[in-house]
Amino acid sequence: MPMIARWKGTVPAGVVSDHVSANWDFLPTFCELAGVPAPATIDGISMAPTLLGKGTQPQHDHIY
């Protein structure tokens, strides 16, 4: 899904990514950014590495 993110001073401006994500990735992303653990029973993968431009971004094996 297309997404625009803005968090002044945290998310770098002008960056374009081809990372494939889905709506179920939002919960683990917000949990990671808030510093709390995501529920263990969800399929989502945090997009924080892509948003913050730090670390290696895990990928989904497939999106259905």
DSSP state of 12: P
Residues 6 or more apart whose CB falls under 8 angstroms from that of 44 comprise 22, 24, 25, 26, 27, 28, 29, 38
The predicted model scores a pTM of 0.85
Residue-level pLDDT, tens digit, the chain, 64 residues: 688 999 999 998 999 998 999 999 999 999 999 999 999 999 999 999 999 999 999 999 888 7
**10 φ/ψ angles, rounded to the nearest 5 degrees:** -125, -50
